[in-house]
Chain A
């Protein structure tokens, strides 16, 4: 089966992702008691070997990052990754704990809490749009440099990867991060079938 997406499929996936990000932003806005600016999601299909380069092109490679990854399985399975810079994470810790200098543990807890809300809302809403269900695995978080965000083990089983990315942007609080949903071969096929079904429903 062809793993490429046509224009209508990309448009539909971007729109479903937009709705999902909207739900996640609203949940985080409640958590942070702040207003988040929404950005148009970007959809890219690339070879697994290009993933590291694609991610590095969207972030400052001189910074350190908290990278949290959460796997999900089902008809549409994959991995949701949230990357937040050390500075943004510190601002998040300050804001959530109302502390001038939050501890490393507090910052890490804040990042995991935010990622849990973010990834579960996005993926749950996305799968709801696609009329399917997924199971979540426990997320894992690391404090690492930009070059270490993607390691070879992460992409070993992948040939093509679909990257759905957007920016979490709470300007007044100086909190922003990058969200990536990575999914591979079999899941891409399932995703195309689910999207085509939705397109058929809406276009008639």
Chain B
């Protein structure tokens, strides 16, 4: 399974990766530091799952989500963000994300994501 982790913060990406290594130890992981990089990697690698931050330089998560969904309307995108406003969640769900979680993600939440949110 290919998984793309998108966050401008290295510790933000590492936090997601730490839980992924427990829940999906065999997954092949890709990292992007902004939305534009994410879209490029998404086109090339066609990951099964994308973990996407919202507040990023160059291209934010909202824009990246739009691009990713236009490339593959079945894309499995989970938004992981510090923005915990209900309107932010509504916006990403309307744009096609499977779900949105507040940072940081722990092992329990990661397990829940794979069991409840993703269609794999």
Q: Footprint of B on A, CB under 8 Å?
A: 8, 11-12, 14-15, 18-23, 25-26, 29, 35-36, 38-40, 198-199, 202-204
CA distance A14 to B103 in the complex (A): 13
Whether A11 pairs with B10 at a CB distance below 8 angstroms is yes
Confirm or deny: B112 has a beta carbon within 8 angstroms of a beta carbon on chain A: no
Among the 9-residue stretches B41-49, B71-79, B81-89, the one with 4 or more Cβ atoms under 8 Å from chain A is B81-89
Confirm or deny: B2 has a beta carbon within 8 angstroms of a beta carbon on chain A: no
On chain B, the residues within 8 Å of A11 by CB distance are 9-11
Closest 9 CB pairs of A and B: A22-B82, A15-B9, A35-B87, A19-B82, A26-B84, A18-B82, A12-B11, A38-B55, A29-B85
Whether A22 pairs with B11 at a CB distance below 8 angstroms is no
Whether A202 pairs with B83 at a CB distance below 8 angstroms is no
Q: Is the interface of A mostly helix, strand, loop or mixed?
A: helix
Give the number of A-B contacts (CB < 8 Å): 61
Confirm or deny: B14 has a beta carbon within 8 angstroms of a beta carbon on chain A: yes
Contact of A22 among B14, B15, B56, B81 (CB under 8 A): B81
On chain A, the residues within 8 Å of B9 by CB distance are 11-12, 14-15, 18
B8, B56, B85, B86: which has the most chain A beta carbons within 10 Å?
A: B85
Shortest Cβ distance from residue A9 to the other chain B in the assembled complex, whole angstroms: 10
On chain A, the residues within 8 Å of B10 by CB distance are 8, 11
CA distance A199 to B103 in the complex (A): 16
Additional 11 contacts, C-beta under 8 A, given A15-B11, A18-B103: A11-B10, A15-B103, A18-B82, A19-B82, A25-B85, A38-B54, A38-B83, A39-B55, A40-B55, A202-B15, A202-B18
Q: Mark B7-47, 1 if CB is under 8 A from A, else 0.
A: 01111101100100000000000000000000000000000
Whether B14 pairs with A19 at a CB distance below 8 angstroms is no
On chain B, the residues within 8 Å of A12 by CB distance are 9, 11
